[in-house]
A and B are shown apart, each in its own frame.
Chain A
Amino acid sequence: MFATRRIPRLIALPVAVALAACGGGDSGATGDTGAAGGDAGAAPMAVANAGTINGTVNFTGMAPANQPIDMGAEPTCAAQHPAGPTTQTVIANNGKLANVFVYLKEGLTGTHPAPSTNVEVDQHGCVYVPHVTGVMAGQGIVFKNSDGLAHNVNAQPQNNRPFNISQPTSMTSAPQRFSTPEVMIPIQCDVHGWMQAYVGVVANPYFATSGEDGNFTIGNVPPGTYTLESWHEHYGVKTAQVTVDPDGTATVTFDYDASVANAVVPLGAPFDPHTDVAAERRVAQPQPATR
Protein backbone atom coordinates (compact mmCIF):
# COMPACT_ATOMS: atom_id res chain seq x y z
CA MET A 1 0.00 0.00 0.00
CA PHE A 2 2.73 2.46 0.84
CA ALA A 3 5.84 3.02 -1.23
CA THR A 4 8.62 0.69 -0.17
CA ARG A 5 11.37 2.54 1.53
CA ARG A 6 14.78 2.45 -0.04
CA ILE A 7 17.39 2.17 2.64
CA PRO A 8 20.45 4.05 1.50
CA ARG A 9 23.38 1.75 0.98
CA LEU A 10 25.36 3.73 3.47
CA ILE A 11 23.04 2.52 6.22
CA ALA A 12 22.35 -0.93 4.83
CA LEU A 13 25.93 -2.05 4.78
CA PRO A 14 26.75 -1.33 8.42
CA VAL A 15 23.39 -2.81 9.39
CA ALA A 16 24.21 -6.01 7.58
CA VAL A 17 27.61 -6.17 9.18
CA ALA A 18 26.18 -5.46 12.61
CA LEU A 19 23.48 -8.07 12.26
CA ALA A 20 25.98 -10.66 11.14
CA ALA A 21 28.31 -9.87 13.97
CA CYS A 22 25.99 -9.75 16.90
CA GLY A 23 23.17 -11.92 18.07
CA GLY A 24 21.54 -14.86 16.43
CA GLY A 25 22.91 -18.33 16.42
CA ASP A 26 22.95 -20.97 19.07
CA SER A 27 25.21 -20.27 21.95
CA GLY A 28 25.42 -23.96 22.69
CA ALA A 29 23.94 -23.80 26.15
CA THR A 30 23.29 -27.10 27.79
CA GLY A 31 19.62 -26.74 28.55
CA ASP A 32 17.63 -26.56 31.73
CA THR A 33 19.86 -27.71 34.41
CA GLY A 34 22.65 -25.19 34.22
CA ALA A 35 26.33 -25.66 33.58
CA ALA A 36 27.53 -29.21 33.26
CA GLY A 37 30.69 -28.49 35.16
CA GLY A 38 31.34 -26.13 38.03
CA ASP A 39 32.87 -22.82 37.10
CA ALA A 40 36.37 -22.38 38.38
CA GLY A 41 35.90 -18.80 39.47
CA ALA A 42 38.14 -15.92 38.56
CA ALA A 43 41.64 -16.86 37.53
CA PRO A 44 43.67 -16.13 40.62
CA MET A 45 47.13 -14.66 40.21
CA ALA A 46 49.91 -17.18 40.47
CA VAL A 47 51.01 -17.65 44.09
CA ALA A 48 54.18 -19.29 45.43
CA ASN A 49 53.64 -22.86 46.67
CA ALA A 50 49.99 -22.64 45.76
CA GLY A 51 47.77 -25.53 46.65
CA THR A 52 44.37 -26.72 45.47
CA ILE A 53 41.10 -27.33 47.22
CA ASN A 54 39.02 -30.13 45.76
CA GLY A 55 35.57 -30.47 47.13
CA THR A 56 32.30 -32.35 46.88
CA VAL A 57 28.83 -31.43 47.98
CA ASN A 58 26.88 -34.45 49.11
CA PHE A 59 23.18 -34.70 49.35
CA THR A 60 21.25 -37.29 51.28
CA GLY A 61 17.55 -37.86 51.15
CA MET A 62 14.86 -37.37 48.56
CA ALA A 63 15.17 -34.09 46.67
CA PRO A 64 11.85 -32.29 46.04
CA ALA A 65 10.75 -32.00 42.43
CA ASN A 66 11.56 -28.67 40.86
CA GLN A 67 8.51 -26.64 39.94
CA PRO A 68 7.52 -26.77 36.29
CA ILE A 69 7.72 -23.42 34.52
CA ASP A 70 4.81 -22.21 32.44
CA MET A 71 6.60 -20.84 29.36
CA GLY A 72 3.42 -20.80 27.30
CA ALA A 73 3.56 -17.05 26.96
CA GLU A 74 6.94 -17.28 25.22
CA PRO A 75 6.67 -20.05 22.62
CA THR A 76 10.13 -19.38 21.16
CA CYS A 77 11.68 -20.29 24.48
CA ALA A 78 9.22 -23.06 25.29
CA ALA A 79 10.28 -24.78 22.09
CA GLN A 80 13.83 -25.01 23.42
CA HIS A 81 12.73 -27.10 26.37
CA PRO A 82 10.93 -30.06 24.82
CA ALA A 83 11.04 -32.00 28.07
CA GLY A 84 9.12 -29.24 29.83
CA PRO A 85 11.09 -26.57 31.63
CA THR A 86 11.44 -26.54 35.39
CA THR A 87 13.08 -24.23 37.87
CA GLN A 88 16.60 -25.02 38.99
CA THR A 89 16.01 -24.76 42.70
CA VAL A 90 17.38 -28.18 43.66
CA ILE A 91 19.60 -30.11 41.28
CA ALA A 92 20.49 -33.24 43.14
CA ASN A 93 21.55 -36.44 41.37
CA ASN A 94 23.21 -39.55 42.70
CA GLY A 95 23.66 -38.11 46.15
CA LYS A 96 25.36 -34.96 44.93
CA LEU A 97 24.11 -31.37 44.97
CA ALA A 98 24.82 -28.93 42.16
CA ASN A 99 24.80 -25.13 42.08
CA VAL A 100 26.31 -24.79 45.52
CA PHE A 101 28.47 -21.69 45.71
CA VAL A 102 31.61 -22.17 47.75
CA TYR A 103 34.03 -19.40 48.68
CA LEU A 104 36.88 -18.66 50.97
CA LYS A 105 35.37 -16.67 53.80
CA GLU A 106 38.07 -16.32 56.48
CA GLY A 107 41.77 -16.83 56.93
CA LEU A 108 43.10 -15.01 53.89
CA THR A 109 45.53 -12.11 54.20
CA GLY A 110 46.39 -9.35 51.74
CA THR A 111 44.35 -7.72 49.03
CA HIS A 112 43.44 -9.23 45.73
CA PRO A 113 42.93 -7.00 42.73
CA ALA A 114 40.07 -7.83 40.44
CA PRO A 115 41.13 -9.30 37.09
CA SER A 116 40.48 -7.48 33.88
CA THR A 117 38.58 -10.39 32.35
CA ASN A 118 34.79 -10.39 32.52
CA VAL A 119 32.48 -13.10 33.76
CA GLU A 120 29.59 -13.85 31.41
CA VAL A 121 26.03 -14.88 32.19
CA ASP A 122 23.94 -15.85 29.21
CA GLN A 123 20.18 -15.74 28.70
CA HIS A 124 19.33 -18.70 26.55
CA GLY A 125 15.94 -20.32 26.16
CA CYS A 126 14.67 -17.79 28.70
CA VAL A 127 16.90 -19.28 31.36
CA TYR A 128 20.05 -17.83 32.91
CA VAL A 129 23.14 -19.88 32.14
CA PRO A 130 24.85 -20.43 34.52
CA HIS A 131 22.27 -20.34 37.31
CA VAL A 132 24.87 -19.57 39.97
CA THR A 133 27.99 -17.51 39.24
CA GLY A 134 30.79 -15.98 41.18
CA VAL A 135 32.63 -12.74 40.48
CA MET A 136 35.22 -10.72 42.33
CA ALA A 137 34.38 -7.37 43.82
CA GLY A 138 35.17 -4.82 41.13
CA GLN A 139 35.37 -7.41 38.37
CA GLY A 140 33.22 -6.96 35.29
CA ILE A 141 30.24 -9.20 34.71
CA VAL A 142 28.48 -9.08 31.34
CA PHE A 143 25.02 -10.35 30.49
CA LYS A 144 24.46 -11.78 27.07
CA ASN A 145 21.06 -12.07 25.44
CA SER A 146 21.22 -15.03 23.11
CA ASP A 147 17.48 -15.28 22.69
CA GLY A 148 16.90 -12.34 20.36
CA LEU A 149 13.83 -11.34 22.34
CA ALA A 150 13.28 -8.85 25.12
CA HIS A 151 14.90 -9.59 28.46
CA ASN A 152 15.92 -7.31 31.25
CA VAL A 153 18.56 -8.00 33.85
CA ASN A 154 17.29 -6.79 37.20
CA ALA A 155 19.85 -7.08 39.99
CA GLN A 156 18.62 -6.39 43.50
CA PRO A 157 21.59 -6.49 45.85
CA GLN A 158 21.51 -5.26 49.45
CA ASN A 159 25.03 -3.90 49.78
CA ASN A 160 25.69 -2.86 46.23
CA ARG A 161 24.05 -0.48 43.82
CA PRO A 162 21.17 -2.21 42.02
CA PHE A 163 20.83 -2.07 38.26
CA ASN A 164 18.21 -2.94 35.70
CA ILE A 165 19.36 -3.30 32.11
CA SER A 166 17.04 -3.73 29.14
CA GLN A 167 18.13 -6.02 26.35
CA PRO A 168 15.43 -5.80 23.67
CA THR A 169 17.24 -8.08 21.27
CA SER A 170 20.45 -10.10 20.96
CA MET A 171 23.20 -8.09 22.58
CA THR A 172 25.77 -8.20 25.32
CA SER A 173 25.66 -5.70 28.11
CA ALA A 174 28.50 -3.46 29.16
CA PRO A 175 30.45 -4.89 32.09
CA GLN A 176 28.66 -4.31 35.38
CA ARG A 177 30.66 -4.18 38.57
CA PHE A 178 29.74 -4.85 42.16
CA SER A 179 32.06 -2.98 44.45
CA THR A 180 31.21 -4.68 47.75
CA PRO A 181 31.38 -8.39 48.59
CA GLU A 182 27.92 -9.83 48.87
CA VAL A 183 26.71 -13.43 48.90
CA MET A 184 24.35 -13.77 47.04
CA ILE A 185 22.78 -11.22 44.74
CA PRO A 186 19.53 -12.28 43.04
CA ILE A 187 19.13 -11.53 39.34
CA GLN A 188 15.75 -11.72 37.68
CA CYS A 189 13.96 -10.87 34.48
CA ASP A 190 10.72 -8.88 34.78
CA VAL A 191 9.38 -9.93 31.40
CA HIS A 192 9.86 -13.61 32.20
CA GLY A 193 9.16 -13.89 35.87
CA TRP A 194 10.52 -17.42 36.23
CA MET A 195 14.05 -16.40 35.28
CA GLN A 196 16.28 -16.39 38.31
CA ALA A 197 20.04 -16.40 38.79
CA TYR A 198 22.41 -15.72 41.64
CA VAL A 199 25.73 -13.93 41.64
CA GLY A 200 28.17 -14.19 44.51
CA VAL A 201 30.56 -11.25 44.91
CA VAL A 202 33.73 -12.12 46.74
CA ALA A 203 36.73 -10.03 47.72
CA ASN A 204 39.15 -12.75 46.69
CA PRO A 205 39.45 -15.03 43.67
CA TYR A 206 38.92 -18.26 45.61
CA PHE A 207 35.41 -19.39 44.84
CA ALA A 208 33.66 -22.02 42.75
CA THR A 209 30.26 -23.50 42.05
CA SER A 210 29.57 -27.23 42.29
CA GLY A 211 28.64 -29.01 39.10
CA GLU A 212 26.07 -31.73 38.57
CA ASP A 213 28.57 -34.22 39.91
CA GLY A 214 28.76 -32.22 43.13
CA ASN A 215 32.43 -31.45 42.58
CA PHE A 216 34.20 -28.13 42.69
CA THR A 217 37.82 -27.05 42.54
CA ILE A 218 39.50 -23.91 43.80
CA GLY A 219 43.02 -23.60 42.54
CA ASN A 220 46.07 -21.47 43.17
CA VAL A 221 45.29 -21.15 46.89
CA PRO A 222 48.08 -19.84 49.12
CA PRO A 223 49.04 -22.26 51.88
CA GLY A 224 47.10 -21.71 55.09
CA THR A 225 44.10 -22.60 57.14
CA TYR A 226 40.79 -21.21 56.01
CA THR A 227 37.08 -21.20 56.62
CA LEU A 228 35.06 -22.06 53.55
CA GLU A 229 31.40 -21.21 53.29
CA SER A 230 28.91 -22.91 51.00
CA TRP A 231 25.58 -21.42 49.93
CA HIS A 232 22.59 -23.09 48.35
CA GLU A 233 19.43 -21.24 47.40
CA HIS A 234 17.10 -23.76 49.02
CA TYR A 235 19.20 -25.45 51.70
CA GLY A 236 21.13 -22.52 53.03
CA VAL A 237 24.62 -22.05 54.32
CA LYS A 238 27.28 -24.36 55.75
CA THR A 239 30.89 -23.83 56.77
CA ALA A 240 33.95 -26.02 56.78
CA GLN A 241 37.57 -25.66 57.84
CA VAL A 242 40.32 -26.56 55.42
CA THR A 243 44.09 -26.48 55.61
CA VAL A 244 46.06 -26.12 52.40
CA ASP A 245 49.68 -27.33 52.51
CA PRO A 246 52.29 -25.79 50.22
CA ASP A 247 51.89 -27.40 46.79
CA GLY A 248 49.34 -29.67 48.34
CA THR A 249 45.76 -30.61 47.63
CA ALA A 250 43.15 -30.29 50.33
CA THR A 251 39.83 -32.07 50.25
CA VAL A 252 36.61 -30.81 51.74
CA THR A 253 33.04 -32.01 51.73
CA PHE A 254 29.79 -30.30 52.50
CA ASP A 255 26.89 -32.48 53.50
CA TYR A 256 23.41 -31.28 52.74
CA ASP A 257 20.35 -33.05 53.84
CA ALA A 258 16.87 -33.04 52.33
CA SER A 259 15.32 -32.82 55.76
CA VAL A 260 16.41 -29.23 56.27
CA ALA A 261 14.28 -28.02 53.42
CA ASN A 262 13.32 -24.36 53.38
CA ALA A 263 16.27 -23.45 55.55
CA VAL A 264 16.74 -19.76 56.07
CA VAL A 265 18.60 -18.46 53.06
CA PRO A 266 20.60 -15.36 53.99
CA LEU A 267 20.09 -13.36 50.81
CA GLY A 268 18.34 -13.47 47.54
CA ALA A 269 15.08 -15.19 48.39
CA PRO A 270 13.40 -15.26 44.99
CA PHE A 271 10.17 -13.43 44.41
CA ASP A 272 7.57 -15.36 42.48
CA PRO A 273 3.91 -14.45 42.76
CA HIS A 274 2.85 -17.94 41.80
CA THR A 275 4.31 -19.78 44.75
CA ASP A 276 4.21 -19.31 48.45
CA VAL A 277 7.93 -18.55 48.53
CA ALA A 278 6.95 -14.92 48.26
CA ALA A 279 8.86 -11.85 49.37
CA GLU A 280 7.51 -8.82 51.18
CA ARG A 281 6.62 -7.10 47.94
CA ARG A 282 3.68 -9.32 47.31
CA VAL A 283 0.28 -7.70 47.68
CA ALA A 284 -2.31 -9.68 49.58
CA GLN A 285 -4.83 -11.35 47.31
CA PRO A 286 -8.16 -9.53 47.45
CA GLN A 287 -11.40 -11.21 48.34
CA PRO A 288 -13.71 -11.36 45.35
CA ALA A 289 -16.50 -8.86 45.68
CA THR A 290 -20.02 -10.14 46.15
CA ARG A 291 -22.61 -8.22 44.15
Chain B
Amino acid sequence: MNEFWRLPVNVSSYGGDIDGMFMLIAWVITIVFFAVEILLVWFLFRYRARPGRKAAYMHGNSRMEVLWTGATALIVLFIGVISRGLWLDIKDPLRFPEPGLQLIVSAKQFEWNTTYPGADGQLGTADDFIRRNQMHVPVNVPVRITLVSEDVIHSFYLPELRLKQDAVPGMQIPAWFEATQTGEFTVGCAELCGLQHYRMKGTLTVLSADQFNAWNAQQVAAAGAAPGTTPALAAPVMNNEAAGSPVVAAASHAH
Protein backbone atom coordinates (compact mmCIF):
# COMPACT_ATOMS: atom_id res chain seq x y z
CA MET B 1 0.00 0.00 0.00
CA ASN B 2 2.87 2.36 0.72
CA GLU B 3 4.03 1.80 -2.83
CA PHE B 4 0.60 2.56 -4.26
CA TRP B 5 0.53 5.87 -2.44
CA ARG B 6 4.29 6.35 -3.00
CA LEU B 7 4.81 7.36 0.59
CA PRO B 8 8.37 8.51 1.17
CA VAL B 9 10.33 6.40 3.62
CA ASN B 10 9.30 7.31 7.15
CA VAL B 11 12.09 8.21 9.56
CA SER B 12 10.02 10.21 11.99
CA SER B 13 8.98 9.28 15.49
CA TYR B 14 5.42 10.42 14.79
CA GLY B 15 5.47 9.54 11.11
CA GLY B 16 4.16 6.06 11.77
CA ASP B 17 1.10 7.51 13.49
CA ILE B 18 0.43 9.87 10.61
CA ASP B 19 0.91 7.18 8.01
CA GLY B 20 -1.29 4.83 10.00
CA MET B 21 -4.07 7.37 10.13
CA PHE B 22 -3.66 8.09 6.43
CA MET B 23 -3.97 4.38 5.69
CA LEU B 24 -7.03 4.00 7.87
CA ILE B 25 -8.75 6.90 6.16
CA ALA B 26 -7.60 5.63 2.78
CA TRP B 27 -9.23 2.27 3.44
CA VAL B 28 -12.45 3.88 4.62
CA ILE B 29 -12.74 6.10 1.57
CA THR B 30 -11.71 3.29 -0.74
CA ILE B 31 -14.49 1.09 0.58
CA VAL B 32 -17.01 3.91 0.28
CA PHE B 33 -15.71 4.69 -3.20
CA PHE B 34 -16.15 1.14 -4.47
CA ALA B 35 -19.50 0.73 -2.78
CA VAL B 36 -20.96 3.91 -4.24
CA GLU B 37 -19.49 3.59 -7.71
CA ILE B 38 -20.37 -0.06 -8.11
CA LEU B 39 -23.89 0.64 -6.91
CA LEU B 40 -24.17 3.53 -9.33
CA VAL B 41 -22.95 1.54 -12.32
CA TRP B 42 -25.18 -1.40 -11.37
CA PHE B 43 -28.22 0.84 -11.12
CA LEU B 44 -27.46 2.43 -14.48
CA PHE B 45 -27.28 -0.95 -16.08
CA ARG B 46 -30.16 -2.52 -14.25
CA TYR B 47 -32.59 0.36 -14.66
CA ARG B 48 -31.74 1.49 -18.16
CA ALA B 49 -34.75 2.38 -20.26
CA ARG B 50 -36.31 -0.46 -22.19
CA PRO B 51 -39.58 -0.53 -24.07
CA GLY B 52 -42.55 -1.21 -21.84
CA ARG B 53 -40.80 -0.37 -18.61
CA LYS B 54 -41.80 2.40 -16.29
CA ALA B 55 -39.94 4.06 -13.45
CA ALA B 56 -41.17 3.63 -9.92
CA TYR B 57 -43.00 6.69 -8.61
CA MET B 58 -41.75 7.58 -5.16
CA HIS B 59 -40.48 10.71 -3.50
CA GLY B 60 -38.03 9.24 -1.05
CA ASN B 61 -37.72 7.23 2.11
CA SER B 62 -37.24 9.03 5.38
CA ARG B 63 -35.86 6.03 7.15
CA MET B 64 -33.11 5.55 4.60
CA GLU B 65 -32.30 9.23 4.84
CA VAL B 66 -31.83 9.01 8.58
CA LEU B 67 -29.82 5.82 8.27
CA TRP B 68 -27.29 7.02 5.78
CA THR B 69 -27.02 10.44 7.32
CA GLY B 70 -26.31 8.89 10.69
CA ALA B 71 -23.79 6.42 9.32
CA THR B 72 -21.88 9.14 7.51
CA ALA B 73 -21.90 11.36 10.56
CA LEU B 74 -20.57 8.54 12.75
CA ILE B 75 -17.73 7.77 10.35
CA VAL B 76 -16.57 11.37 10.04
CA LEU B 77 -16.85 12.01 13.75
CA PHE B 78 -14.80 8.90 14.41
CA ILE B 79 -12.09 10.20 12.10
CA GLY B 80 -12.18 13.55 13.84
CA VAL B 81 -11.90 12.07 17.29
CA ILE B 82 -8.93 9.85 16.53
CA SER B 83 -7.10 12.67 14.75
CA ARG B 84 -7.30 15.31 17.37
CA GLY B 85 -4.82 13.90 19.86
CA LEU B 86 -2.15 13.29 17.27
CA TRP B 87 -2.61 16.77 15.83
CA LEU B 88 -2.01 18.42 19.14
CA ASP B 89 0.95 16.18 19.98
CA ILE B 90 2.66 17.40 16.82
CA LYS B 91 1.62 21.02 16.72
CA ASP B 92 0.88 22.20 20.25
CA PRO B 93 4.08 23.65 21.78
CA LEU B 94 2.87 22.76 25.25
CA ARG B 95 3.00 19.11 24.22
CA PHE B 96 6.42 19.11 22.58
CA PRO B 97 8.87 16.64 24.13
CA GLU B 98 11.93 17.98 25.92
CA PRO B 99 14.28 18.85 23.06
CA GLY B 100 17.81 17.55 22.87
CA LEU B 101 18.75 20.17 20.33
CA GLN B 102 17.29 23.56 19.53
CA LEU B 103 17.73 25.27 16.20
CA ILE B 104 16.54 28.35 14.42
CA VAL B 105 15.55 27.80 10.82
CA SER B 106 15.43 31.04 8.91
CA ALA B 107 13.74 30.95 5.55
CA LYS B 108 14.63 33.46 2.88
CA GLN B 109 14.26 33.68 -0.82
CA PHE B 110 15.55 31.02 -1.66
CA GLU B 111 17.55 29.30 1.04
CA TRP B 112 17.07 27.63 4.40
CA ASN B 113 19.58 28.91 6.91
CA THR B 114 19.89 26.94 10.13
CA THR B 115 21.42 28.46 13.25
CA TYR B 116 23.07 26.05 15.64
CA PRO B 117 23.72 26.75 19.30
CA GLY B 118 27.42 25.98 19.11
CA ALA B 119 29.54 24.56 21.89
CA ASP B 120 27.61 26.05 24.77
CA GLY B 121 24.34 24.54 23.61
CA GLN B 122 22.62 27.91 23.92
CA LEU B 123 21.07 29.77 21.05
CA GLY B 124 21.63 33.48 20.92
CA THR B 125 25.23 33.41 22.11
CA ALA B 126 28.43 34.32 20.32
CA ASP B 127 29.39 30.78 19.40
CA ASP B 128 26.27 30.14 17.29
CA PHE B 129 26.99 29.20 13.72
CA ILE B 130 24.82 29.08 10.62
CA ARG B 131 24.70 26.52 7.85
CA ARG B 132 23.16 27.22 4.48
CA ASN B 133 20.65 24.66 3.13
CA GLN B 134 22.22 21.93 5.19
CA MET B 135 20.76 20.69 8.43
CA HIS B 136 22.61 18.22 10.58
CA VAL B 137 20.83 16.62 13.50
CA PRO B 138 21.49 13.65 15.76
CA VAL B 139 19.35 10.54 15.50
CA ASN B 140 16.76 9.64 18.13
CA VAL B 141 16.84 13.08 19.67
CA PRO B 142 13.86 15.44 19.68
CA VAL B 143 14.88 18.53 17.78
CA ARG B 144 12.95 21.71 18.36
CA ILE B 145 13.12 24.37 15.69
CA THR B 146 11.92 27.94 15.63
CA LEU B 147 10.85 28.97 12.16
CA VAL B 148 11.35 32.53 11.00
CA SER B 149 11.24 34.16 7.62
CA GLU B 150 13.21 37.09 6.32
CA ASP B 151 10.86 38.03 3.53
CA VAL B 152 7.74 36.13 2.42
CA ILE B 153 5.83 33.09 3.60
CA HIS B 154 7.74 29.87 3.03
CA SER B 155 6.83 26.40 4.21
CA PHE B 156 9.40 24.16 5.84
CA TYR B 157 8.79 20.66 4.56
CA LEU B 158 10.64 17.49 5.51
CA PRO B 159 8.85 14.73 3.56
CA GLU B 160 10.56 11.80 5.26
CA LEU B 161 9.87 13.29 8.67
CA ARG B 162 6.27 14.09 7.91
CA LEU B 163 6.90 17.63 9.04
CA LYS B 164 5.43 20.71 7.45
CA GLN B 165 5.11 24.16 8.92
CA ASP B 166 4.81 27.55 7.28
CA ALA B 167 7.46 30.15 8.10
CA VAL B 168 5.73 33.52 8.30
CA PRO B 169 7.61 36.85 8.36
CA GLY B 170 6.98 38.61 11.62
CA MET B 171 6.26 35.38 13.46
CA GLN B 172 8.39 32.84 15.33
CA ILE B 173 6.74 29.46 14.93
CA PRO B 174 7.87 26.39 16.86
CA ALA B 175 7.97 22.87 15.45
CA TRP B 176 9.64 19.63 16.41
CA PHE B 177 10.69 16.30 15.03
CA GLU B 178 12.70 13.28 16.02
CA ALA B 179 14.55 11.30 13.38
CA THR B 180 14.65 7.57 13.89
CA GLN B 181 17.26 6.67 11.28
CA THR B 182 20.53 8.09 10.08
CA GLY B 183 20.91 9.15 6.49
CA GLU B 184 20.33 12.05 4.13
CA PHE B 185 16.84 13.39 3.66
CA THR B 186 15.05 16.17 1.85
CA VAL B 187 14.31 19.72 2.90
CA GLY B 188 11.86 21.52 0.62
CA CYS B 189 9.65 24.56 0.44
CA ALA B 190 5.92 23.94 0.25
CA GLU B 191 4.56 27.45 -0.21
CA LEU B 192 4.98 29.51 -3.35
CA CYS B 193 7.57 32.06 -2.36
CA GLY B 194 8.77 33.60 -5.58
CA LEU B 195 10.60 32.83 -8.75
CA GLN B 196 13.05 30.24 -7.45
CA HIS B 197 10.57 28.58 -5.10
CA TYR B 198 11.13 25.34 -7.00
CA ARG B 199 14.79 25.37 -6.13
CA MET B 200 14.55 26.15 -2.43
CA LYS B 201 15.82 22.78 -1.34
CA GLY B 202 18.25 21.56 1.21
CA THR B 203 19.55 18.41 2.79
CA LEU B 204 18.84 17.05 6.23
CA THR B 205 21.67 14.82 7.43
CA VAL B 206 20.86 12.66 10.42
CA LEU B 207 23.96 11.47 12.25
CA SER B 208 24.65 9.18 15.15
CA ALA B 209 25.28 10.96 18.41
CA ASP B 210 29.06 10.58 18.14
CA GLN B 211 29.12 11.74 14.57
CA PHE B 212 26.97 14.68 15.40
CA ASN B 213 29.14 15.74 18.28
CA ALA B 214 32.21 15.47 16.11
CA TRP B 215 30.60 17.49 13.36
CA ASN B 216 29.42 20.08 15.80
CA ALA B 217 32.87 20.43 17.32
CA GLN B 218 34.34 20.86 13.88
CA GLN B 219 31.86 23.60 13.02
CA VAL B 220 32.52 25.39 16.27
CA ALA B 221 36.25 25.22 15.70
CA ALA B 222 35.94 26.57 12.18
CA ALA B 223 33.65 29.34 13.38
CA GLY B 224 36.05 30.19 16.18
CA ALA B 225 39.06 30.44 13.88
CA ALA B 226 37.54 33.16 11.74
CA PRO B 227 34.97 35.15 13.71
CA GLY B 228 31.79 35.80 11.82
CA THR B 229 32.70 33.47 9.01
CA THR B 230 30.57 30.87 7.43
CA PRO B 231 32.17 27.51 8.12
CA ALA B 232 33.74 25.84 5.12
CA LEU B 233 32.40 22.68 3.60
CA ALA B 234 33.19 19.83 5.93
CA ALA B 235 32.17 16.21 5.88
CA PRO B 236 31.04 14.64 9.16
CA VAL B 237 34.00 12.90 10.79
CA MET B 238 33.53 9.36 11.98
CA ASN B 239 34.62 8.25 15.46
CA ASN B 240 36.45 11.45 16.12
CA GLU B 241 37.40 12.12 19.72
CA ALA B 242 37.76 15.79 18.96
CA ALA B 243 37.40 18.28 21.75
CA GLY B 244 34.18 20.05 22.52
CA SER B 245 31.42 19.10 24.89
CA PRO B 246 28.63 17.13 23.36
CA VAL B 247 25.60 19.30 22.81
CA VAL B 248 23.34 16.31 22.64
CA ALA B 249 21.68 15.73 25.97
CA ALA B 250 20.89 12.20 26.98
CA ALA B 251 17.98 11.42 24.74
CA SER B 252 14.73 11.02 26.61
CA HIS B 253 11.89 9.92 24.43
CA ALA B 254 8.89 11.85 25.55
CA HIS B 255 6.40 9.49 24.05
Contacts and interface: CB of A to CB of B under 8 A. Distances in A.
Do any beta carbons of A and B sit within 8 angstroms of each other in the complex?
Answer: yes
A164 B132 CA distance: 22
B124 interface: yes
A191 B196 contact: yes
Nearest to A274: B230
B110 A67 contact: no
B230 A289 contact: no
B93 to A, nearest CB: 7
Contact of A67 (B113, B169, B226): B226
Contact of B150 (A69, A84, A283, A287): A283
A73 interface: yes
B49 to A, nearest CB: 39
Contacts of A120: none
B115 A285 contact: yes
Nearest to B117: A288
A190 B133 contact: no
B110 A190 contact: yes
Nearest to B234: A72
B229 interface: yes
The DSSP consensus for interface residues of chain A is loop
B96 interface: yes
A6 interface: no
**Interface size range on A against B:** 20 to 34
Given A150-B196, A283-B150, A286-B104, A274 B233 contact: no
B44 interface: no
B146 A288 contact: yes
Interface string B119-136: 000111000001111100
Nearest to A282: B150
B162 interface: no
Interface of A: 65, 67-73, 78, 84, 150, 152, 164, 166, 190-191, 193-194, 273-276, 281-283, 285-289, 291
10 contacts: A68-B232, A70-B233, A152-B195, A190-B194, A191-B110, A273-B130, A273-B150, A274-B130, A274-B230, A286-B148
